Amino acid sequence: LYIGEEVGTGKGPAVDIALDPLEGTTICAKNLPNALAVIAIAEKGSLLFAPDVYMDKIAIGPGYPEGLIDIDASPAENLANLAKAKGVAVSDITACILDRPRHAKLIDAVRATGAAIRLIGDGDVAGVIHTTDPDETGIDIYLG
């Protein structure tokens, strides 16, 4: 789909669609796990128009109070808040970060806190999804 393309019959609610038919092209090509097809559907006009830009992302799993993490806070603050909410030391937290040169300062900042880091080569959507079940995946927070 191209931006602004209209699809469907015109009956029913009008929605916006964001589609990535292959999130993790490189990992798919290498026959590695976590390549995904991704679709988001929302009320017409409610999706952010942001073509081909990098954004800071942060995610934690469910069950935490609203406002526990803040995209504008430092990694140290967010990791400390998450550790406190989980009742563990920051050194018991694992952050998932996309391994890119643009994240070098972020990686250094997380390492300085004592938190563990799991770097991934591709597939940041999968990295975010991993935060939903840290007992299974070992990922407490996604940053990057």
Quick one: pLDDT at residue 143? 98
Q: Higher-confidence residue: 27 or 127?
A: 127
Give which of 123, 127, 121 is closest to 143, Cα–Cα.
127
The predicted-structure confidence for 89-100, as pLDDT tens digits, reads as follows 999 999 999 999
Contact (Cβ atoms closer than 8 angstroms) between residue 126 and residue 139: no
CA 45 vs CA 13, 16, 25, 40, 69: distances in Å: 12, 7, 28, 13, 27
Residue 32, pLDDT > 90, answer no
Q: What share of the chain has pLDDT > 70, as a percent?
A: 100
Tokens representing residue 104 in the block? 């070098």
Q: Look at residue 51 in the predicted model and tell me its pLDDT.
A: 72
pLDDT tier at 48 (50, 70, 90 boundaries)? confident
Cα–chain-centroid distance for residue 86? 19
What residues pair up with 36 in beta bridges, in sequence order? 23
Q: Where are the domains of the chain?
A: 1-49, 58-143
What architecture is domain 58-143?
A: 3-Layer(aba) Sandwich (3.40)
Where residue 53 falls among pLDDT bands split at 50, 70, 90? confident
Tell me the mean pLDDT in the region 38-50: 89
Rounded to an integer, the average pLDDT of 30-47 is 90
Global pTM reads 0.84
pLDDT of residue 86: 98
